[in-house]
Amino acid sequence: MSPAPVLKDQERGFLIPIGGAEDKEADRRILSRFVELSGSENGDIVVIPTASRLDDTGPNYLGIFDGLGIGQVDYLPINSREDCDNPSFFDVLDRATGIFITGGNQLRLSTILGGTLIAQKIRRCNAAGIPIAGTSAGASIMSEHMIAGGDANSSPSEDGVNLAPGLGLTNAAIIDQHFTERHRLGRLLSGIAYNPFLLGIGIDEDTGAFIGPDNMLEVVGKGSVTIADAKGLTYSSMGHVGHGEPLSLLGLKLDILAEGCRYDLDKRQSFPPESTTE
């Protein structure tokens, strides 16, 4: 699945993968900025809590976004593939100025939403300029190739990651979350070793990667974003190592970006915070 095409005179909306455990009680910088991008008091955010099995996930985010000054907020109780055909849900998405996908289990997300009209609608909304944010599982599902699992705290290996189809909001990168906290560098590198064209984006908790329509990423939050670029590999052993054996990846490039740093996904180039560039 690929991102929906952008129509003439339109601009794609922001994609905002969040590494999970975002601040919901203090200054709430990440969620506050998403509310601003969604129109603040003139906006209408739609929450998709499908990844979570907890009944209070949707209502909890209603209270959070209402407290941040959004004009209107709704949630879609999508718990089955049959729910993805509910015409009233499409009416709600037609009014959306922002879409938020909660955390939980990304395979629950992909198996319920994958290949449905709701998934197509979400991609079209983003192509029409609607910002889409997702936290934890909601971040991973954004990519075309989704990280569904893998061994933490281990070296990259031939079977170090499990991939599944995502929503396809971006086909330029694969995204992992709870990144530093759960020691997921090895599985992210395993993922991009399968296809060195892809960028690997690992996002720490309480950290968001705000990716604009120009494919410029900016880091907001308390942690960092790790970007792994395998395009310049001079050697990879992926094609001939045995099952479970560690990989050799020569020429790999890593950038570690804290708040204010930016990254051009098209040019694969990183930039320091603007205040330090003089």
274 is catalytic: no
Say which residues have a Cβ less than 8 Å from residue 45's Cβ, sequence separation at least 6.
Answer: 34, 35, 38, 65, 70, 72, 73, 74, 96, 97, 98, 99, 100
Judge whether 275 lies within some domain. Answer: no
Tell me the whole-structure pTM to 2 decimals.
Answer: 0.97
Judge whether 1 lies within some domain. Answer: no
Report strand pairing: 225-229 vs 98-101: unpaired
Q: Which of 144, 145, 157, 178 is catalytic?
A: 178
Q: Which of 22, 158, 205, 218 is catalytic?
A: 205
Mean pLDDT, residues 195-214 taken together? 97
Judge whether 40 lies within some domain. Answer: yes
N-to-C CA span, the chain: 41
136 is catalytic: yes
Q: Which of 38, 110, 136, 224 is catalytic?
A: 136
What range does the domain containing 241 cover? 15-265
Give the per-residue SS3 of 106-169: HHHHHHHHCCCHHHHHHHHHHHCCCCEEEECHHHHCCECEEEEECCCCCCCECCCCEEEECCCC
36 is catalytic: no
pLDDT digit string (tens) for 104-150? Answer: 999 999 999 999 999 999 999 999 999 999 999 999 999 999 999 99
Judge whether 197 lies within some domain. Answer: yes
In 3D space, the residue among 185, 211, 178, 187 whose CA is nearest the CA of residue 103 turns out to be 178
pLDDT digit string (tens) for 216-269? Answer: 999 999 999 999 999 999 999 999 999 889 999 999 999 999 999 999 999 999
* Model confidence at 197: pLDDT above 90: yes
Task: State how many domains the chain has.
Answer: 1
In 3D space, the residue among 107, 156, 111, 113 whose CA is nearest the CA of residue 132 turns out to be 113
Query: What sign for the dihedral angle of Cα 180, 230, 2, 161?
Result: negative
Q: Are 187 and 143 in contact (CB under 8 A)?
A: no
**Which H or E run includes 63?**
helix 57-67
Q: What is the CATH number of the domain that holds 26?
A: 3.40.50.880
Give the per-residue SS3 of 217-261: EEEEECCCEEEEECCCCCEECCCCCCCCCECCEECCEEEEECCCC
Judge whether 223 lies within some domain. Answer: yes
pLDDT digit string (tens) for 71-116? Answer: 999 999 999 999 999 999 999 999 999 999 999 999 999 999 999 9
* Model confidence at 277: pLDDT above 70: no
Mean pLDDT of the chain: 96
pLDDT digit string (tens) for 10-58? Answer: 999 999 999 999 999 999 999 999 999 999 999 999 999 999 999 999 9
Q: Are 141 and 101 in contact (CB under 8 A)?
A: yes
Judge whether 2 lies within some domain. Answer: no
pLDDT digit string (tens) for 146-162? Answer: 999 998 889 999 999 99
